[in-house]
Amino acid sequence: MSINKEYIKEKLSAQFGEGILAWEESSDILCVVVKCELNLKVLTFLHDDASLSFQFLTDLTGIHFPDNKGAEIGVIYHLHNLKENVRIRMKVFAPIEKPNVYTATGLFKGANWMERETYDFYGVNFVGHPNLKRVLNVDEMDYHPLRKEFPLEDQTRIDKDDEMFGR
């Protein structure tokens, strides 16, 4: 059976109803925005439902929207149904004060390092993760550098001469 965007929308809407916050489409990929507390339930449904079979996690990353009060930190999942060659994107958003999202490591082994990276750079606390610690930055960092609250360059560095960079 070939699955299409309308079929996916019907299945998810029937299963989660009010838990679906929005539908988007970008680059011909369907995107569903769900309530943060439902992320693992929706991922499990997309993975386990025989007619959907989104069993490959292509990517998982974070995003920071500082002006989106109460939902500043987001996690984006890219899933792929390899049999039908269909992709879907799922987004969840959490408040910056408590960016808790359930881990997907039980469904996708590859989520382990992706979640660690997202924690490292955005500060998302993946609840239930088996080893949530920094993977690329030093342990002593007390901030998450890809949040937009930090400048792109370290203003305290003295080894950079603006004239050398054409500024």
More confident residue, 155 or 90: 90
| Token pair 């060659």 in the structure block, residue | 85
Cα angle, residue 66 at apex, residues 62 and 69 outer, rounded to 5°: 105
Asked whether the predicted pLDDT for residue 124 surpasses 80, the reply is yes
Cβ atoms of 73 and 62 closer than 8 Å: yes
| DSSP summary character for residue 162 | G
User: Tokens in use for 38?
Assistant: 């439902």
pLDDT at 14: 97
| DSSP summary character for residue 141 | -
Confidence class for position 2, pLDDT limits 50, 70, 90 = confident
Q: What is the mean pLDDT of residues 119-138?
A: 95
| CATH superfamily label, 5-165 | NADH:ubiquinone oxidoreductase Nqo5 subunit (3.30.460.80)
pLDDT at 161: 65
pLDDT one-digit tens code per residue, 44-96: 999 999 999 999 999 999 999 999 999 999 999 999 999 999 999 999 999 99
pLDDT at 119: 97
Confidence class for position 167, pLDDT limits 50, 70, 90 = low
Cα–Cα distance measured from residue 73 to residue 39, given in angstroms and rounded to the nearest whole number: 14
Confidence class for position 104, pLDDT limits 50, 70, 90 = very high
pLDDT at 156: 72
More confident residue, 87 or 142: 87
Cβ atoms of 61 and 118 closer than 8 Å: yes
Cα angle, residue 136 at apex, residues 131 and 138 outer, rounded to 5°: 90
Residue spans per domain, the chain: 5-165
Is the pTM for the entire model greater than 0.85? yes
Averaged pLDDT of the chain: 92
Cα–Cα distance measured from residue 97 to residue 11, given in angstroms and rounded to the nearest whole number: 33
